[in-house]
Amino acid sequence: MDQGVTLFDTADIYGNEGFLEHRFGDNEKLLGKALKGRRGEAVIATKFGTTHNQGIKGDPAYIKKSVDASLYSLGIDYIDLYYQHRLDPDTPIEETVGTLAELVKQGKIRYIGLSEAPVDIIRRAHTVHPITAVQTEYSLWTRDVEDDILPALWELGIGFVPYSPLGRGFLTGNIKELEDLSESYPHQMFTRFQGEHFEKNVKAASLIEEFANKKGCTTAQLALAWLLAQGDQIVPIPGTKRLERVQENLGALEVKLTKEDLAEMEKIAPKGIASGGRF
């Protein structure tokens, strides 16, 4: 916050004990502690709907319980942006968004977001109540959203929040060998960090690193600057546990990419360059 960051992204399911052992609300509680006395300076985004043992939940009763739990964990009296984390296949989106619209009326949340929602769902949701933001993975090596999601969002006037904008750490130049994988990130869950995919992806990332060296910025800054250059309504949310990396990543705002730079990057990192699916 001292560096001017205002948007903080969490979820009821995020925990600080490691993704696989998390407990509900752990990360929200941590964020709530940090917000003490500075709530007004922050835009707080949190999410509901992914559970440990009940699948995905988006029914009215579940949402009403979840929002109160998140408000309690965060220690705040309203959430700025409340996302449905994943779609509940058993609850029509109209019912979910209708319930969220009630929460807006009650003042418990200010804006509604969807995460990993396909275009038809976004359109249906938006007719019930304006959707403010969609959050889905997007980075130099995960560009699926360019096909249909981004054009639909620009048409509807909805913002886009790219998650894992650093390719879960790959687009930083810091991962060259398996030993470099951070113990605090569940890399083992993702095929791109395994076996021959890993080898290929290290090579692909090294080309991006070379271009960053040429531009005089770090690889992470280049990856974020590239995202920022894709549209004014794009707000990437890089994750890190280290203050010096927060500072480094914020330096992306100073990296200006020309049309020629973007064309060069298109050659170095064309769509589909990553080896292995994104999950």
Structure token digits, residue 110: 């200010």
Judged by CB under 6 A, the stretch of 91-99, 102-110, 148-156, 178-186 that binds ligand NAP is: 178-186
Q: Which residue has the tokens 């205002």?
A: 6
Q: Binding marks (x or -) toward ligand NAP, 246..275, rule CB under 6 A?
A: --xx--------------------------
Alpha-carbon Rg for the chain, nearest whole angstrom, is 19
Q: Binding marks (x or -) toward ligand NAP, 115..154, rule CB under 6 A?
A: xx------------------x-------------------
Q: Is 72 labeled as catalytic in the residue annotation?
A: no
Among 66, 142, 164, 275, binds ligand NAP (CB under 6 A): 164
Instruction: Check the CA dihedral 141-231-7-220 and report its sign.
Output: positive
Interaction between residue 12 and ligand NAP (CB under 6 A)? no
Residue nearest to ligand NAP (CB): 239
Among 25, 49, 159, 165, binds ligand NAP (CB under 6 A): 165
Interaction between residue 174 and ligand NAP (CB under 6 A)? yes
Task: List the 43-48 sheet strands across, edge first.
Answer: 7-9, 43-48, 79-84, 109-115, 133-137, 159-163
Using alpha carbons, list the distances in angstroms from residue 107 to 41, 46, 203, 262. Answer: 18, 15, 49, 42
Q: What's the burial of 252, exposed, middle or buried (CB within 10 Å: 0-12/13-18/19+)?
A: buried
Contact residues: ligand NAP, CB under 6 A: 9, 115-116, 135, 163-169, 172, 174, 182, 184-185, 220, 237-242, 245, 248-249
Q: Any idea which residues carry the catalytic annotation? A: 14
